[in-house]
Amino acid sequence: MTSMKILGLAAAAVLTASQAFAGATVDEIKSRDVVRCGVSTGLAGFSVADSQGNWTGLDADFCRVVAAAMLGDASKVEFVPLSAQQRFTALQSGEVDLLSRNTTWTLTRDTTLGLDFTNVTFYDGQGFMVPADLGVSSAMELDGAAVCVQTGTTTEKNLTDFFRATGMEFKPVVFEALEESKTAFFEGRCDAYTTDASGLASIRATDAPNPEDYVILPEIISKEPLGPAVRNDDSEWFDIVRWSVFATLQAEELGINSGNIDDMMNSEDPNVQRVTGAAAGMGEALGLDEAWAYNIVSQVGNYGEIFEANVGADTPLGFQRGINALWKDGGLMYAPPLR
């Protein structure tokens, strides 16, 4: 047998093997008729449950976005609260189908954990919060400080890198559970608390005895692109999650929202028609109903609606869009063409 034939057979075998495994997660989700989504144990604005067990937040809504696309019903989500230590194991083991839990996309996580990040749903960066009466106005004044930090996170590594790079000393006060770290800080066991800026705003707004008694320092010491992750064993599922998020961005860019999408069904714009499902082909390419993007926008909203409802200017977190604005408005949010 020639070497070319051997190479051809090997390539065919690889292709056949990959096709055999493709769609396993998709098939399981269709069979159980619910998406199991890993979320935080409680971070206001991103994923938090009320006393009745109803989940709200930007990360929780992106779980609903995927369920709407996949199953036609945004309510078909089983939320699984996970600590920072538990989250990757839960995804790897199949306990959850999707991780949507304020998780930073990094090279080592993307290449060594058997998972793939699909998109960035929130561009963030790490900062510091201190008691106002500490009299500190800059992170460069934290030499010798005791800093509360949650273990098993990029936050812990960034903290060490920051103090090493600046030549300052610090005392890490490390906790596994988010609640423990917050309690310790507000009890005065640490001079500063560090996590993503979004987390600092959430904790200050919802957990501080008096938010005005705490100051978020201006320095951002890292890049923290947050987004959903899936196992790397099902390219079909990866595509569905990725393009479901992109659909929310494309809808916002085209001016399609939950309030006007039915009227937009009559648009002559082919780009609009692909989002509303009036033009066929996009759903078929993903193995979904042609109403997949319509279901997302009509049931959950476009990206701007999701952002403003959960973390926007009129919420306790009060975030401006900033770098999370669409690319055409000076931000980083950008969807490849839906065509």
- Mean pLDDT, rounded, for 231-249: 97
Q: How many CB atoms are located within 10 Å of the residue 269 CB?
A: 14
Question: Residue 4: is its pLDDT beyond 50?
Answer: no
| DSSP string over 83-148 | -TTTHHHHHHHTS-SEE-SS-B--HHHHHHSSEEE---SEEE-EEEEEEGGG---SGGG-TTEEEE
Question: Residue 17: is its pLDDT beyond 80?
Answer: no
pLDDT of residue 7: 39
Token pair 């001079």 in the structure block, residue:
191
Q: What is the model's pTM? A: 0.88
How far is residue 200's CA from residue 216's CA, in Å, rounded to a whole number?
Answer: 7
**Hey, do 19-123+226-329 and 126-222 end up sharing a CATH topology, with the first three levels equal?**
yes
Q: How many CB atoms are located within 10 Å of the residue 150 CB?
A: 22
Question: Chain-wide mean pLDDT for the chain?
Answer: 93
Question: Residue 187: is its pLDDT beyond 50?
Answer: yes
- Mean pLDDT, rounded, for 172-188: 94
Domain 19-123+226-329 has CATH 3.40.190.10: yes
Q: Tokens in use for 19? A: 């096709």
Are 235 and 287 spatial neighbours (Cβ–Cβ below 8 Å)? no
How do the domains of the chain map onto residue ranges? 19-123+226-329, 126-222
Residue pLDDT, tens place only, 83-106:
999 999 999 999 999 999 999 999
Are 338 and 275 spatial neighbours (Cβ–Cβ below 8 Å)? yes
Question: Residue 274: is its pLDDT beyond 90?
Answer: yes
Question: Residue 12: is its pLDDT beyond 60?
Answer: no
Start-end of H helices in 189-302: 197-206, 235-253, 261-264, 270-276, 282-286, 292-299
Q: What is the second-level CATH architecture of the domain 126-222?
A: 3-Layer(aba) Sandwich (3.40)
Residue pLDDT, tens place only, 125-166:
999 999 999 999 999 999 999 999 999 889 999 999 999 999
